Amino acid sequence: MDAVPEGVLLEILSAVPAVDVIRGCRPVCALWRDIIDSPALWKTKCQRDGFISKRCSRNPPNWRMFYFLHLRKKNLLKNPMAAENFKHWHKDQDGGDEWKVEKLPGAHGRPFPDDKVKKYFVTSYGLCLKSQTIDLKKEGYYAEFMDVVRPNIIVKDWYAARHDCGCQYQLLVRLLSQDKTVMEEFQPEPVNIEQWSNAEWAQIEHTFSNYAPGVRYIYFQHGGQDRQFWAGWYGIRVTNSSVTIDPGDLSA
């Protein structure tokens, strides 16, 4: 391999899976180590895997971190579409006839914009709230990375009311420190939907950016109730919630 030009070697190594290139290839020799540690290799891998275009002229602070952010990018909320009933969710409040899972579109409801979503969670006439706490370290986002890069944290949620019943929807998302101190939060005003609405699904979205170092957990809570106080499950419906760590877009 000594006769192989560095540019060709970079192309070869960039085709190796990321974990293998670090664990198996980097220790081979000083030349391989230097190539694997170079921004050029990780930019090439980003191009190969479709994370950026070959015309991209902007540079992130660290190409290797940018690559692994894209590689790891996923919804950090578990069971967001009720496929496993209430597994992974903590019921903070279970008022009225309690939380329930129903199939889409449901009575007096509308189809969901994404046909991959088959179920939703529905509230009752008493306040119903459920939550998850995301441990960033367990998800692979270590302290040094979160404190230096501080990537955008994007929160999305979908909600809808029944056509025949007024409802209230609420959302609370907090960025927490190691000792669970609240560092930043997003808590919009509750959404009140009147009776005889169009029952369309609506999305709420928020991006945490430029937050202080020290974020170790993300707390996500949502829910609501119906406003007619009818027995049964006439309250707000929620599904397809997501919390993602976003590396940003270099296309602009």
Residues 168-198: tens digit of each pLDDT: 999 999 999 999 999 999 999 999 999 999 9
CA atoms of 164 and 153, how far apart (whole Å): 36
Q: Is the pLDDT of residue 113 over 90?
A: yes
Residues 68-111: tens digit of each pLDDT: 888 878 999 999 999 999 999 999 999 999 999 999 998 888 99
- CATH 2.60.120.260 range(s) for the chain read 90-246
Considering only CA atoms, give the Rg of the chain. 23
- CATH 1.20.1280.50 range(s) for the chain read 6-72
- Average pLDDT over the chain, rounded to whole? 92
Domain boundaries 6-72, CATH class: mainly alpha
pLDDT for 53 equals 75
Query: What integer is the mean pLDDT of 229-246?
Result: 95
Residues 37-80: tens digit of each pLDDT: 999 999 999 989 888 877 766 777 788 888 888 887 899 999 99
Domain 90-246, architecture per CATH: Sandwich (2.60)
